[in-house]
Structure 1
Amino acid sequence: MKKTVKVLLVLATTLLLASCGKLDFGSDSGTTTSTKSGNYQTTGNNKDSNYQGVIRNGKYPVSKARGLMLQNNNQNGNTFNVRSMESGLTQIATKQFSTDKYDLEDGQLLSTATTRKWLARQKGKFSKSGDTDNALGLNPASNNKTDPTKRNPIYLQQLLEQDFMVSSGNSMNLGGIAIGLGMNSVDYYTKSQYGAQYETKISEADMVAQGKRMASEVVSRLRQMKGVGQNTPIMVGLYRQAEQDSLVGGTYKTYMVSMKGNQIGQWHGVNQQNEVLPLQDNKKGINSSVASDFNNFSAQIRGFFPTLAGVTAQAHYEDGQLAGLKVTVNTQFYGQSEINAFTQYVTTAASKYLPSGVKIEIDIVSVQGMQAFANRDTGEKNFYTHVFDSY
């Protein structure tokens, strides 16, 4: 049981990098209502900036499409991409679907089979019987070339759906849809089975052009699905994935909202950046002040506990401003008293040296797993901490 709790807490603390809507499963503030399809319950929420989640018939409805990677591509995947793609879509969605009106439900429209078909290549001249090429593929058909600069790459790698629900009397209805298209910055491939890996770099301009083409098709297909009205707002965001060896996830580049039928709304640019701290090789970085603050924090806790294995951070920026910081501290000690003292010291140092006013998450880990964590939400002054017992 203890291990299970630890795993759940680790997953919960790593889902959000910064400034992102999150679900709060507070039992005291949830509400239960009867719908045509049975009972649903909202999870409750302790912050106006966060969406309430939806529980149907006592169970949380999980999206079948979330995190599904393109199976016929040899890319190993970057787990940071999956996390930041989801949290980023939730954040962008707040621009269209206010948290005080809409509740958030994992996407229920796209099945696993449908998602696989959409992620595949289109049928083409070089399609083979039994492969994953199909008429519903959003990626361009293969041109049978293997040269990195001449082949048609896989542009679309992931597809994420989020549904936004509205309560009306005794029913809960679909009020809006957000779709994230996870677009490759690099397409990794092999020329033969189990052969060497090659890569095709994809410019941002090509990625956006392909993504906009796909977005138009996605809107058209969603409009034909049961339960989706012609006036249901559909948001589509283009997410540029980081390379597979990156220590941070990618970012959204642009999004639009289709308000009616197959009409495509105006595309809006998204200014997001991620970086890893400490900076390496005298790199200038996005914000020298943030990098300096982190270095001071790292030096302080290293001086107090010299046995630390490493201190790193992922910084997330919105419109040039720091929006969140996720710090990972790798330890080499295991005593309960040491962990307690260290966690207290880390939060004190974080309050003194790290930037104020932004979301900060600190994970303290060892080879045995998560030992403690500290969290401070945007606008808060104090950290919430938890130390895992050793028994």
Structure 2
Amino acid sequence: MAKYKLWVVAAATVLLLAGCTSLQSNLSSSSSIKSTKKLQTTGKVTDSMYEGVIDNNQYKTSQTRGLTTQQSNTAFDVKSLESGLLNISKKQFPTDKYLYQEGQTIKTAEAQKWLARQSKDNTLGLNPEDNGEKEPDKRNPLYLQQILEQDFLGADGALEGMSIGLGMNQVDYYAKEQYGATFETKISSAMMAQQGKQMANKVLTRLRQKKGLSKTTIVVGLYKQAPKDSLVGGTFFAYGVSKNGSTTIDSWHKMNQANQVFPLVNDEKAVNQSDADAFTSFKGQVQTFFPNLSGVTAQAHYEDGVLAGMNITVNTQFYSETEIMSFTQYIATAADKYLPQNIPLDISISSAEGVQAYVGRAAGSKGFSTHVFGSY
């Protein structure tokens, strides 16, 4: 989706879609970015995307992306944290005024220390010290699971803004002994928010001490990790902005987000029943017309209870290119007829051999774009 690719495509990937170009030649004359020196950038396809910075003909990868306290989070969480933080960043750092760079300030080794428990050997640990208890309701859980940095530059390449995402556990998975059974410590929403806000202030204090960050605007987003067996990623529940060298965030903005899988599983209640019914109608129509399907599923994203985007995966058993062409056209027709209007939609058609076709509709668009991947 153009705005809410929370589940499938990491935000950093879309920054690489265009070829390298100089900033002066790439930005239109109406852009509010005024270049003072030439920079290599990735270019951008739409106004909703940032231009990424290229240094010495190479794209700098993130120092913190994918770092976790343990291997319990899903791939959905890594991607949802990244794309969700990028959407929060756009509120403070408009895409027509800032360039994007993967986080470079918090180094990998430093982030690993922050994610670990506090101890005599690691005074930088943001997670609480191990109290030696093994029972779920007595032990000190790991509250912080992920940390992510995103940087925003001016036209001259100077760092002007930063966003930090803190991925907080709602369930901490642990073993009482090495290679033993997995146990769970559940963390309440109130405790998760309390710990997240305290950690945010600690992170701000540390960042302000770094060169060039004493007055930089810093956004901190608090993200609720999805449970280990979830079929969707987690969601952001709050964010705050620190300006003028402040080491605390005194005003937090609440966020009401939800992700849901269609068809509904485990007797889960629909966020919006009409959306669930619309998908059921679409799924039934598609499976009736093309019976050789392995499955049709969707991931829906909600903002304040309103559907903000949907990503659908259709698994097929087709091998004929002409079958795929016909099926793709039918998918676009059925989507337009049965699925909710005026939201971004991504529909991928795949088989065991890989992605065969794509159907998509951007936010605000009435029509669908389609593409069939050929063998040549």
Please give the residue correspondences for 1:46-85 in structure 2 after superposition, counting only pairs within 5 Å: 46-70=45-69, 73=70, 75-85=71-81
Structure 2: how far apart are the matches of 1:32 and 1:121?
46
Tell me whether 1:310 sits opposite 2:295 in the alignment: yes
Aligned to 1:239: 223
Please give the residue correspondences for 1:240-389 in structure 2 after superposition, counting only pairs within 5 Å: 240-261=224-245, 262-280=247-265, 282-389=267-374
Contact 1:40/1:57 (<8 A) preserved? no
Structure 1: how far apart are the matches of 2:366 and 2:43?
23
**C-alpha spacing 1:360/1:45, structure 2 compared with 1 (3 Å):** same
Aligned to 1:178: 163
Measured after TM superposition, the shift of residue 333 of structure 1 is 1.7
SS at match of 1:386: strand
Please give the residue correspondences for 1:6-45 in structure 2 after superposition, counting only pairs within 5 Å: 14-15=8-9, 22-23=14-15, 25-27=17-19, 31=23, 40-45=39-44
Tell me whether 1:156 sits opposite 2:144 in the alignment: yes
Structure 1 unaligned segments of length 5 or more: list them: 1-10, 125-132
Aligned to 1:4: none
After superposition, the C-alpha distances for 1:14-40 in whole angstroms (9 at most, x for unaligned) are: 2159xx99536334976269xxxx963
Task: Give the count of matched residue pairs.
Answer: 360
Please give the residue correspondences for 1:205-216 in structure 2 after superposition, counting only pairs within 5 Å: 205-216=190-201
SS at match of 1:323: strand
**C-alpha spacing 1:210/1:122, structure 2 compared with 1 (3 Å):** same
SS at match of 2:215: coil
Aligned to 2:114: 118
Contact 1:294/1:354 (<8 A) preserved? yes
After superposition, the C-alpha distances for 1:308-365 in whole angstroms (9 at most, x for unaligned) are: 1110000001111111101011111211111111111111111121111111111111
**C-alpha spacing 1:282/1:208, structure 2 compared with 1 (3 Å):** closer
Measured after TM superposition, the shift of residue 281 of structure 1 is 5.1
- The one-letter amino acid of 2:288's match is G
Measured after TM superposition, the shift of residue 176 of structure 1 is 0.5
Structure 2: how far apart are the matches of 1:137 and 1:176?
25
Contact 1:293/1:353 (<8 A) preserved? yes
Aligned to 1:129: none
**C-alpha spacing 1:273/1:63, structure 2 compared with 1 (3 Å):** same
Contact 2:81/2:165 (<8 A) preserved? yes
Structure 1: how far apart are the matches of 2:21 and 2:101?
17
Q: RMSD of aligned C-alpha atoms? A: 2.3
Aligned to 1:102: 98
Contact 1:39/1:57 (<8 A) preserved? no
After superposition, the C-alpha distances for 1:101-143 in whole angstroms (9 at most, x for unaligned) are: 111111011111111111000016xxxxxxxx61111000000
Contact 2:73/2:226 (<8 A) preserved? no
SS at match of 2:39: strand
SS at match of 1:115: helix
Structure 1: how far apart are the matches of 2:268 and 2:204?
41
Measured after TM superposition, the shift of residue 381 of structure 1 is 1.8
**C-alpha spacing 1:191/1:241, structure 2 compared with 1 (3 Å):** same
Structure 1: how far apart are the matches of 2:138 and 2:6?
42
Measured after TM superposition, the shift of residue 197 of structure 1 is 0.5
Contact 2:21/2:40 (<8 A) preserved? no
Structure 1: how far apart are the matches of 2:49 and 2:252?
25
Structure 2: how far apart are the matches of 1:28 and 1:314?
33
Measured after TM superposition, the shift of residue 46 of structure 1 is 3.4
- The one-letter amino acid of 2:342's match is G
Greater shift in the superposed pair: 95-104 or 23-32: 23-32
Greater shift in the superposed pair: 366-375 or 296-305: 366-375
Measured after TM superposition, the shift of residue 227 of structure 1 is 2.6
**C-alpha spacing 1:12/1:334, structure 2 compared with 1 (3 Å):** farther
Contact 1:85/1:250 (<8 A) preserved? yes
Contact 2:7/2:233 (<8 A) preserved? no
After superposition, the C-alpha distances for 1:215-245 in whole angstroms (9 at most, x for unaligned) are: 00100111111232x2211111100000010
**C-alpha spacing 1:387/1:111, structure 2 compared with 1 (3 Å):** same
SS at match of 1:149: coil
Please give the residue correspondences for 1:194-213 in structure 2 after superposition, counting only pairs within 5 Å: 194-213=179-198
Contact 1:21/1:91 (<8 A) preserved? no
- The one-letter amino acid of 1:339's match is I
Contact 1:104/1:164 (<8 A) preserved? yes
